[in-house]
Amino acid sequence: MKRILFLGLFVCTVLFTFAQERIAIQHGPYLQNLKDTETTIVWLANKPSVGWVELAPDDGSNFYNTERPAYFDATNGVKNTSLIHVVKVSGLKPGTRYRYRVYAKEVLSHEGVEITYGPVAATSVYGTKPLVFTTNNHAKPETSFVMINDIHGRTNEIAPLLKVGGYDSKDMVIFNGDMLTQLRNAEELFTGFMDVSIDLFAKEIPMYYARGNHETRGLVATSFQHYFSPKEPHLYYLVRQGPVCFVMLDGGEDKPDSDIEYSGITDYDHYRSEQAAWLAEALKSKEYTEAKFKVVICHMPPGPKDLWHGPQEVLDKFVPLLNEADVDVMLSGHLHRTIDCDPTSQVRFPVVINSHKTVLRGTTQGGQLKLEILDADGKVTNTRIIKAK
């Protein structure tokens, strides 16, 4: 009897503590799909809430100088009550620096049209400087980026690799797949790699994600896009910064859909065919054709040999289109080692494969794109120079 009473009191205490916990921004915010005139901002609260972003130009005025425009997390005109908040801010100017603040206002109850709100949590613009971002700009003469891949939850290696690559002076960071081994729950997205990325850069420097084959595994695989590219039609997309157009592809899984490992839950052959149809049109866009450099990001490379099913699909469905589109280079991971592949009769552009223990740094200068792979000590282990055509 005493044991039952003790357990009952313990449960009540836990529930009371949770109920008394003040609303807070638990993860984020972080930038997604930053472009010339828009960006998407994502953050998570610890309690059901409505969320919004306040935006201000970085014009030297105090953030409190005037009421700043608010952009709400809403669907079809109704503000979402959720733990995760996603806001797409559009109508921005290219190459322009903006300040922003995110909010989460607790929803205590929602009965019909009667809503009871609780406290509000927000990022600070008083005790600390407001968060900032700068929109992309097609006219920017040069650009730079860093790329890591195949981290598989080794959280402590993310910051050292990005620092070696000089992430803080680059326009963007690219995650080229397999940041975790599988997506078992949403919390692991953050404890596994996003929390450290947010603390390091992702609040203010855009991170672009090309999904790997391991992000397709686990219970959260189907909700991956709730967190990454959440306002885009697909997980594959184009992004342009200065002289470079990046084609972000999603290779899917590496084995046949019928493989016993997938338990009949995958349909990647059809998915890659749909993606190829999109790619055929995307490669005709001005965003792509007018770029000085054309860089393809794809986790699984179409080579160099002994291809599994997924890389074979990349070779069969994507490469023929890319061969006709003046691609300068494909950047990949997946193989956990550095391989620099020259063009062949089958793949008519170089493929640079980054290891799981190195960082790839890319910088344009005049008529060339310089790609360097650096180890954790900062030693350059591979260099390729791409000259503009």
Phi, psi of 56 (to 5 degrees): -140, 145
Could you report the per-residue pLDDT of 306-338, keeping only the tens digit for each?
999 999 999 999 999 999 999 999 999 999 999
Query: What pLDDT sits at residue 361?
Result: 98
Question: The CATH number of the domain where 353 resides is what?
Answer: 3.60.21.10
Instruction: Quickly tell me which residue has 């282990």 as its tokens.
Output: 381
Please report whether residue 7 resides in a domain: no
Whether residue 159 has pLDDT greater than 50: yes
Please report whether residue 284 resides in a domain: yes
Asked if residue 281 and residue 220 are part of one domain, the reply reads yes
Q: What is the mean pLDDT of residues 215-242?
A: 95
Could you report the per-residue pLDDT of 113-158, keeping only the tens digit for each?
899 999 999 999 998 899 999 999 999 999 999 999 999 999 999 9
Asked if residue 162 and residue 124 are part of one domain, the reply reads no
Please report whether residue 338 resides in a domain: yes
Closest by alpha carbon to 78, among 110, 38, 33, 55?
Answer: 110
The pTM for the full model equals 0.93
Please report whether residue 236 resides in a domain: yes
Give the total number of structural domains in the chain: 2
Whether residue 15 has pLDDT greater than 70: no
Coil vs helix vs strand at 103: strand
Asked if residue 75 and residue 149 are part of one domain, the reply reads no
Q: What is the mean pLDDT of residues 187-206?
A: 97
- Dist. CA 201–CA 120, nearest whole Å: 25
Which helix H or strand E contains 51, and what residues bound it?
strand 39-57
Asked if residue 86 and residue 180 are part of one domain, the reply reads no
Coil vs helix vs strand at 107: strand
Query: What pLDDT sits at residue 112?
Result: 84
Q: Provide the Cα torsion 297, 303, 308, 312; round to 10°.
A: 70
Please report whether residue 9 resides in a domain: no
Instruction: Quickly tell me which residue has 């005790």 as its tokens.
Output: 127
Q: What is the mean pLDDT of residues 248-263?
A: 94
Name residues whose C-beta falls within 8 Å of residue 171's C-beta, 6 or more positions apart in sequence: 136, 140, 143, 144, 145, 205, 206, 241, 242
Beta strands in 58-164 (DSSP E): 70-72, 74-75, 78-79, 82-89, 97-111, 114-122, 131-134, 144-148
Whether residue 5 has pLDDT greater than 70: no
Q: What is the mean pLDDT of residues 220-241?
A: 96
Range of the domain at 212: 144-387
Start-to-end CA distance of the chain, whole Å, equals: 81
Asked if residue 189 and residue 209 are part of one domain, the reply reads yes
Which helix H or strand E contains 332, and what residues bound it?
strand 329-332
- Dist. CA 4–CA 124, nearest whole Å: 45
Asked if residue 123 and residue 50 are part of one domain, the reply reads yes
Q: Are 70 and 244 in contact (CB under 8 A)?
A: no
Burial 147-163 (b: 16+ CB within 10 A, else e): bbbbbbeebebbeebbe
Query: What pLDDT sits at residue 17?
Result: 46
Whether residue 11 has pLDDT greater than 70: no
Q: What is the mean pLDDT of residues 226-249?
A: 98
Query: What pLDDT sits at residue 1?
Result: 47
Query: What pLDDT sits at residue 10?
Result: 46
Asked if residue 240 and residue 94 are part of one domain, the reply reads no
Average pLDDT score over the chain: 94
Whether residue 94 has pLDDT greater than 70: yes
Could you report the per-residue pLDDT of 335-378, keeping only the tens digit for each?
999 999 999 999 999 999 999 999 999 999 989 999 999 999 99
The half-sphere exposure of 50 on its side-chain side, counting CA atoms within 13 A, is 17
Q: For Cα atoms 292, 169, 97, give the angle at the middle one, nearest 5 degrees.
A: 80
Asked if residue 95 and residue 65 are part of one domain, the reply reads yes
- In the sheet with 172-175, reading across from the earlier edge strand, the strands are 207-209, 172-175, 144-148, 359-365, 368-374, 380-387
Could you report the per-residue pLDDT of 269-291, keeping only the tens digit for each?
999 999 999 999 999 999 999 99
Whether residue 79 has pLDDT greater than 90: yes
Question: The CATH number of the domain where 67 resides is what?
Answer: 2.60.40.10
Asked if residue 208 and residue 186 are part of one domain, the reply reads yes
Please report whether residue 16 resides in a domain: no
Could you report the per-residue pLDDT of 17-57, keeping only the tens digit for each?
445 799 999 999 999 999 999 999 999 999 999 999 999 99
Query: What pLDDT sits at residue 188?
Result: 92
Structure tokens at 75: 């669907």
Cα-Cα-Cα-Cα dihedral sign, residues 263, 234, 372, 315? positive
| pLDDT range class, residue 16, cuts 50, 70, 90 | very low
